[in-house]
Structure 1
Amino acid sequence: MVIVYSKPACVQCTATYRALERHGIEYVVVDVTQNDAALEYISEDLGYFQAPVVLVDDNNHWSGFRPDLIDLLAKAMRSGVTA
């Protein structure tokens, strides 16, 4: 399951949701303004300071609206490979 770490009123977050939905990729949203542990995880452990942070797995994650990476993820998921 793809996790999107997000914050309210985030234009790049909304664009990310739409792109994921367009490709039929299921995801859950974690609001980092309401979840201190999630904010600490994406900033301290992953090193990101920009929303959204998209986490596919421990080795596949990125920050910001990245339609190129969403396209690659969709292709990988269609072929049965997610990492």
Structure 2
Amino acid sequence: MALGQLELAARVAAGLFVIVAPTLLFLALWHGLQAMQDDALVERVRQRATEQSGSAVSVSSPAVSCPACGAGNRDGVAYCQQCLSRL
């Protein structure tokens, strides 16, 4: 059973579409998300996180130590922030 050239071309085109289309859609989504990124907001969040981590260490020490890894955790948390074991 020989396929006609038109039918073969249609099958190849459909196969290429199925393979290439998801990649192109993902790349377009990624580019769109990067274009929507608010750099000023990201920088403020990064700066606030740096300030909080620096001040939290100097103001008070963690109240609970993890029995598995020894990492310090805030009082009242159920799981270790480092290794996720139950406190």
Q: Structure 1 length as normaliser, TM-score?
A: 0.21
TM-score (norm 2): 0.20
Return the structure number with greater relative CO, CA threshold 8 A, min gap 6.
1
The structure with the greater share of residues assigned to strand is 1
